[in-house]
Amino acid sequence: MSPVLTASTQGSESAIRSAPALSCRDVRVSFRDQEVVCGVNLELDTGQWLGIIGPNGAGKSTLLRSIVGLAYYSGAIALGDGRTPAAADVALVPQAPIMPKGMTVAEYVLLGRTAHLGWLARESRADREIASSVLNRLELTAFADRFVSTLSGGEAQQVVVARALAQQCPVLLLDEPTSALDLGHQVSVLELVDDLRRTEGLSVLAAMHDLSAAARFADRLILIDHGRIVAEGRPAAVLQPDLLSAVYGTPLTVQPIDGELVVLPEPRRRAKPPKEAP
């Protein structure tokens, strides 16, 4: 993405900075007269992983849905060049994807190429090679001929991630992408996304329940509570025990382990055993 020129405050010099891959300005979403996203402002830089954290019902998923046009919003959502995001610009991995009956895994992943096709155009050999490459990278080649309706929850989640990656959009939105995966597959999926953003400039905006994973992979975090951003910054600045405990409504601790931050519930206070009768 080409840089944009920003005028100096003194007017005598010019500073060049990269345009953000995606920005939200005063984004608001309401359901039945209740505002669930309340004036959110954010910038996602090119090649950055921006994590969105917060309790259930905070507005994380609704914000992501508004970015891809699945929720009506007020305010402004734009790419770095000022355009409203289109299907070829932003890919979403939803929490609860629809898995159509009668469709194989290979066919489902190939649907990720639809955003790049013209009207009535069919997938090319290059499109099929891209889908096949993604299946291979996610170690899903053995599932290619299986119907998506027969997959377990964890297998289906991996296939949905594969479809989004096959879309090859510059911005990837993840809505709890590893919620149905076992620990090993959680790590492999997140590391694959992280590798793509580092090698190919993919920009990632991810709503994440796992605060330790958010700290591990995100460059910056946004903490949302009741639709509002209450903290923003690098993981070490946002993941403060007192703040997290207040927002999540339960005592939490943050421990540095091997150079990474791990968020845990406070240890349970065990009742003292009754004293023995004399």
180-226 tens-digit pLDDT: 778 877 888 888 889 888 888 899 999 999 999 999 999 999 999 99
pLDDT at position 223: 98
CATH at residue 80: 3.40.50.300
pLDDT above 60: residue 8: no
* Residues 105/136, Cβ–Cβ less than 8 Å: no
Q: What is the DSSP letter of 99?
A: -
Two structure tokens written together for 175: 């809505």
| CA angle, 264 then 270 then 273, to 5° | 165
By C-alpha distance, which of 23, 60, 20 is closest to 214? 60
Beta strands per DSSP E along 98-219:
171-175, 203-207
Domain count across the chain: 1
Amino acid, single-letter form, for residue 9: T
**Which alpha helices (DSSP H) does 18-124 contain, by range?**
60-67, 105-110
Tokens 């989004």 correspond to 164
Tell me if residue 108 falls in helix, strand or coil. helix
* Percentage of residues of the chain with pLDDT beyond 90: 63
Its domain, for residue 152, covers 3-275
pLDDT interval class at 87 (50, 70, 90): confident
pLDDT above 50: residue 264: yes
- Run of H or E including 248: helix 241-248
| CA angle, 62 then 52 then 20, to 5° | 95
pLDDT at position 7: 32
pLDDT interval class at 15 (50, 70, 90): very low
pLDDT interval class at 38 (50, 70, 90): very high
